């Protein structure tokens, strides 16, 4: 059959280079076999040490908290970014579990890693790896307290050595033209665009073939040169095989003797991704045990931050105060109350919970449901009560609303209580007072948690998402819907009373991200939009029309919206669901969305990789993958509003980049494709540094290329990278490879749109 060419694209791939065998690194533990009497271990708080028969034995008094009974070793020195492995043999008469922490050797005792060690009757071998985050002198601490009776543990063969990964991933520019055709490794729609990108020194069209899973040639065509792409610093070509329309698996493109990674062609391409991307949120939950029979046994863990040692917990949290508060806010701001802020989702690779990030994330889950409700003809699986892997299956409420509720309940808990000076305002965030290391499971986090000062941005976030949730929960849980609406309206009034209470942009060193924002005009517009759609009250329409965003542009090409820029969320919902608007006003907002969608298609037509993204100066932004998804959401709205096929096909093609048609030849979604990201930055999905822990769950989106090299791994290994190749799948490369709730949420939206739209 004939396969027609169209336009070209470019690529640069990270090579996997096997390292030669290395001599064993020097042991950092002196006399870890306890044979010479100069090992350096110490004990405190009811722990007595005895060195006997080539072992170090600790007799531990009963009672106390884990950190009341300590065994330690000081004066260790690590190099940030390097990996280390701690090994030892533990011997006891019965079963005990206790934390082993690598931490700074002085105030503020910052933890670089915490492991859970265990004993049983007899000997147990312990081995755990971590990546260092600090160069300051460090110590190993065994927290042995809390047992009901006195007990003994003996250590032997304790060793701590630098370790190296089995494989080194590096971008090698000299190999860019040796890459195969770059394809969507998951698959292409039977009736949709099917294109691949090729990097080639050739400037003339090139022949290509399509092979089936048995290697038989079933089609051929010619590429179309697409020119030099500065984001990969290479010449590009595009192979267009859209005319091919036979469903199947294991297809490959062959060009110049090189075969692409395999892909499928069919109709049901994204239904599973919708389920996996949504199910990703369950193990991110705080304050609840994650059950292995739901999330998968590898992801089972105790509830995090529920006041059980060593956690300080989130059920009784006070406000930040003292020198840190003075530095951040210009005065010693605090509060005289405590809040139960348990629940919600852990934001990203850390264990902080941030209202503005949680706000946009939960909004986009709610929007996924609302789109399925309004544009899915009542048949979208997104309305199902058995869609995702969560404990609430079968409770009569759609799963996606159950998941959203977990965050909505938390957001309402962050509100300042009545009778307080800032009543109705919403605390900006809650997180540890110090950064913890990798790995660190939530239930092992030993740091104190504090509330940060309320902000106008956080308060308006709650106003927006509470109003949005109120209209969607009304059919399923009227009492909860009423509670949401009351909270949203209360937050709106509080924000109006305190319109300039901004979160500072300088507190990122205090155990969590800052999320500073001193322009709340977009949050005001968004909140007014959601409140108006839900209530139809004139006061919210008045606020909308007074906003600079009422008729102005709100969808920048670099990214239609993110946590700091949310006016586009309001505009989109007014266009899709603003039936309370007067006809002329509704026509205006609809036209603005369709116009923005057309502009994005024009941008896409110039992209050799087919994605909807071209940042300023060709420099890829932090979280570039989610920015692509956000732009796709605007284009999907163009399709919902007009039914015009180019919008649908634009979204179908743009997802190709996320799933492998990119300069890394990598799918940025864990578990999708032949080569995919699997070491996203996380303190508990940390298999790269601790083989007892899992990789991130299937359906996890990686942040993607970031031209600004902000972490030690990226600085060391990506220097001079072409913008689209500034990515490395390393757990400590948080600048390019983090995961977060507000990045997976638009993935859920787009996967759901693609699964449903026809």
CATH classification of the domain holding 616: 1.50.10.10
Beta partners for residue 151, in sequence order: 60
Instruction: Please tell me the predicted confidence (pLDDT) of residue 675.
Output: 96
For the stretch 335-346, pLDDT in tens is 999 999 999 999
| Residue closest to 461 by CA, chosen among 558, 344, 552 | 344
Token pair 């578990």: residue:
671
pLDDT at 488 over 90: yes
Share of the chain above pLDDT 70, in %: 94
- Could you tell me if residue 381 is inside a domain? yes
Same domain? For 385 and 460 the reply is yes
Q: Is 739 a domain residue?
A: yes
Q: Classify residue 294 as exposed, middle or buried by CB count within 10 Å of its CB (0-12, 13-18, 19+).
A: middle
Mean of pLDDT values over 70-97: 90
pLDDT band at 299 (very low <50, low <70, confident <90, very high): very high
How many CB atoms are located within 10 Å of the residue 388 CB? 25
- pLDDT higher than threshold 50 for residue 197: yes
Catalytic residue among 681, 690, 712, 756: 681
CB atoms within 10 A of CB 417: 12
33-to-48, 88, 213, 276, 341 alpha-carbon distances in Å: 19, 9, 56, 47, 46
Tell me the C-alpha distance between 678 and 682, whole Å. 11
More confident site: 371 or 326: 371
* Nearest-angstrom CA–CA distance, 187 and 1: 20
Domain count for the chain, please give it.
3
* Region 428-439 average pLDDT: 91
d(CA 746, CA 742): 7
Q: Which of 45-54, 182-191, 654-663, 668-677 has the lowest mean pLDDT?
A: 45-54
Residues 6+ apart with CB under 8 A from 229: 9, 10, 235, 236, 608, 609, 724
**What helix, strand, coil percent values describe the chain, rounded to 5?**
30, 25, 45
Whether pLDDT at 23 is above 70: no
Q: Is the pLDDT of residue 172 over 80?
A: no
* Any domain includes 231: no
The radius of gyration of the chain's CA atoms, rounded to the nearest angstrom, is 27
Over 70: is that where the pLDDT of 367 sits? yes
pLDDT in tens, 199-225: 998 999 999 999 999 999 999 999 999
CATH number for the domain that contains residue 114? 2.60.120.260
Q: What is the span of the domain harbouring residue 253? A: 1-18+179-203+212-224+236-267
The pLDDT of residue 177: 75
Query: Exposed (0-12), middle (13-18) or buried (19+): which is 540, by Cβ within 10 Å?
Result: buried
CATH code, domain with 240: 2.60.40.10
pLDDT the model gives residue 2: 38
Given a cut of 70, whether residue 15 has pLDDT beyond it is: no
With beta carbons less than 8 A apart as the criterion, state whether 103 and 109 touch: yes
Tell me if 442 is assigned to some domain.
yes
Whether the per-residue pLDDT at 8 is higher than 50: the answer is: no
pLDDT at 12 over 80: no
Handedness of CA 231, 234, 237, 238 (dihedral sign): negative
pLDDT at 514 over 90: no
Mean pLDDT within 42-71: 92
Catalytic residue among 233, 447, 738, 756: 738
Tell me what pLDDT residue 398 has: 99
Same domain, 495 and 598: yes
Is position 39 annotated as part of the catalytic site?
no
Residue 682 shares a structural domain with residue 730: yes
Residues 518-537: what's their mean pLDDT? Answer: 98
The 10s digit of each residue's pLDDT in 707-737 is: 999 988 999 899 889 999 999 999 999 999 9
For the cut 50, the answer to whether the pLDDT of residue 169 exceeds it is no
- Residues 6 and 109 placed together within one structural domain of the fold: no
Residue 356, phi then psi, degrees to nearest 5: -70, -35
Alpha-carbon span 684 to 443, nearest angstrom:
10
pLDDT at 176 (0 to 100) = 65
In a domain, 530, yes or no: yes
To the nearest whole number, what is the mean pLDDT of the chain? Answer: 91
Tell me, yes or no, whether 25 lies in a domain. no
Lowest-pLDDT choice from 143-147, 161-165, 517-521, 527-531: 161-165
- CA pair distance 520, 533, nearest whole angstrom: 20
Does residue 661 belong to any structural domain of this protein? yes
One domain, residues 281 and 412? yes
Active-site entry in 347, 350, 530, 562: 350
Cα separation, 733 vs 720, whole angstroms: 16
- Residues 550, 671, single domain; the answer is yes
The structure tokens listed for 695 are 């990789």
pLDDT at 110 exceeding the cut of 80: no
Q: What mean pLDDT comes out for the span 79-103?
A: 89
The band of 14, judged by pLDDT with boundaries at 50, 70 and 90, is very low
- Domain contains 23: no
Residues 463 and 368 in one domain: yes
User: Is the pLDDT confidence value at 439 over 50?
Assistant: yes
Question: What DSSP line would sit under 190-257, residue for residue?
Answer: TTS--EEEEE-S--S--EEEEE-TTS-EEEEEE-EEEEEETTTTEEEEEEE-TT----EEEEEEEETT
pLDDT one-digit tens code per residue, 695-711: 999 999 999 999 999 98
Q: Where are the alpha helices (DSSP H) in 414-561?
A: 456-473, 478-497, 521-535, 538-546
Contact yes or no for 112/103 (Cβ under 8 A): yes
Is 350 a residue of the active site? Answer: yes
Active-site annotation holds for 681: yes
Q: Is there a catalytic annotation at residue 579? A: no
Does residue 135 sit in the same domain as residue 199? no
703 shares a domain with 577? yes
Residues 681 and 700 in one domain: yes
Residue 507: band (very low, low, confident or very high) from pLDDT cuts 50, 70, 90: low
Cα separation, 293 vs 390, in Å, equals: 10
Residue 466 has pLDDT above 80, yes or no: yes
* pLDDT on residue 5: 31
Shared domain for 261 and 293, answered yes or no, is no
From the list 347, 562, 690, 729, the catalytic residue is: 729
**Looking at the structure, do residues 11 and 45 belong to the same domain, yes or no?**
no
8 A C-beta contact, residue 295 and residue 700: no
Q: What local confidence, expressed as pLDDT, does residue 707 receive? A: 95
- pLDDT above 60: residue 478: yes
pLDDT of residue 81: 73
How far from each other are the two terminal CA atoms of the chain, in whole angstroms? Answer: 26
């Amino acid at each position: 059959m004939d396969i027609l060419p169209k336009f070209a694209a470019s690529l640069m791939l990270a090579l996997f280079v096997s390292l030669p065998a290395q001599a064993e690194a020097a042991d950092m533990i002196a006399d870890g076999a306890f044979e010479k009497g100069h090992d350096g271990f110490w004990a405190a708080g009811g722990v007595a040490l005895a060195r006997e028969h080539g072992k170090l034995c600790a007799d531990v008094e009963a009672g106390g908290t884990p950190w009341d009974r300590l065994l330690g070793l000081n004066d260790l020195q690590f190099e940030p970014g390097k990996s280390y492995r701690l090994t030892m043999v533990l011997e006891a008469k019965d079963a005990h579990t206790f934390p082993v922490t690598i931490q700074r050797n002085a105030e503020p005792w910052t933890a670089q890693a915490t492991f859970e060690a265990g004993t049983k009757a007899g000997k147990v071998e312990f081995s755990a790896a971590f990546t260092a985050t600090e160069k300051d002198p460090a110590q190993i601490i065994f927290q042995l307290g809390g047992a009901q009776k006195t007990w003994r543990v003996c250590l032997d063969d304790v060793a701590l050595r630098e370790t190296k990964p089995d494989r080194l991933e590096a971008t090698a520019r000299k190999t860019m033209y040796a890459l195969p055709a770059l394809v969507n490794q998951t698959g292409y729609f039977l009736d949709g665009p099917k294109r691949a990108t090729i990097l080639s020194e050739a400037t003339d069209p090139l022949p290509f073939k399509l092979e089936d899973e048995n290697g038989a040639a079933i089609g051929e065509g010619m590429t179309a040169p697409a020119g030099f792409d500065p984001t990969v610093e290479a010449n590009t070509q595009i192979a267009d095989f859209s005319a091919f329309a036979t469903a199947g698996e294991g297809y490959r493109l062959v060009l110049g003797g090189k075969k692409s990674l395999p892909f499928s062609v069919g109709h049901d391409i994204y239904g599973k991704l919708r389920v996996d991307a949504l199910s990703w949120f369950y193990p991110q939950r705080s304050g609840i045990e994650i059950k292995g029979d739901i999330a998968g046994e590898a992801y089972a863990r105790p509830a995090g931050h529920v006041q059980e040692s060593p956690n300080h917990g989130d059920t009784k949290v006070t406000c930040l105060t003292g020198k840190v508060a003075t530095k951040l806010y210009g005065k010693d701001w605090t509060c005289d109350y405590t809040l139960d802020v348990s629940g919600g989702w852990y934001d990203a690779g850390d264990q902080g919970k941030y209202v503005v990030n949680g706000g946009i994330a939960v909004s986009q889950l709610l929007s996924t449901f609302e789109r399925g409700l309004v544009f899915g003809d009542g048949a979208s699986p997104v309305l199902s009560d058995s869609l995702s892997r969560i404990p609430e299956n079968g409770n009569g409420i759609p799963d996606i609303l159950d998941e959203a509720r977990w965050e909505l309940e938390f957001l309402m808990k962050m509100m300042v209580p009545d009778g307080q000076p800032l009543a109705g305002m919403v605390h900006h965030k809650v997180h540890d007072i110090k950064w913890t290391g990798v790995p660190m499971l939530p239930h092992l986090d030993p740091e104190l948690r504090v509330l940060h000062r309320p902000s106008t941005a956080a308060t308006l976030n709650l106003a927006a998402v509470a109003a949005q949730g109120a209209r969607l929960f009304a059919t399923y849980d009227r009492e909860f819907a009423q509670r949401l609406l009351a909270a949203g309206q209360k937050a709106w009034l509080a924000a109006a009373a305190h319109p300039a209470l901004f979160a500072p942009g300088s507190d990122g060193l205090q155990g969590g991200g800052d999320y500073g924002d001193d322009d709340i005009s977009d949050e005001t517009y968004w909140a007014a939009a959601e409140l108006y759609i839900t209530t139809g009250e004139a006061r919210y329409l008045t606020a909308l029309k007074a906003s600079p965003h009422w008729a102005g542009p709100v969808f920048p090409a670099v990214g239609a919206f993110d946590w700091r820029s949310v006016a586009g969320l309001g505009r989109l919902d007014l266009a899709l669901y603003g039936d309370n608007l007067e006809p002329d006003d509704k026509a205006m907002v609809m036209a603005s969305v369709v116009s923005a969608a057309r502009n994005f298609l024009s941008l896409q037509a110039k992209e050799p990789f087919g994605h909807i993204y071209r940042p300023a100066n060709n420099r890829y932004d932090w979280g570039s993958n989610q920015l692509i998804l956000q732009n796709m959401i605007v284009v999907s709205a163009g399709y919902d509003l007009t039914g015009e096929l180019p919008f649908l096909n634009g979204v179908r093609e743009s997802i190709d980049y996320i799933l492998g048609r990119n300069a890394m030849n990598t799918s940025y979604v864990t578990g999708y494709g032949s080569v995919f990201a699997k070491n996203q930055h996380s303190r508990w999905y940390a298999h790269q540094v601790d083989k007892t822990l899992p990789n991130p769950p299937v359906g996890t989106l990686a942040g993607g290329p970031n031209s600004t090299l902000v972490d030690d791994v990226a600085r060391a290994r990506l220097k001079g990278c072409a913008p689209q190749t500034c990515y490395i799948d390393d757990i400590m490369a948080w600048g390019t490879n983090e995961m977060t709730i507000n990045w997976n949420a638009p993935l859920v939206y787009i996967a759901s749109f693609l699964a449903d739209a026809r």
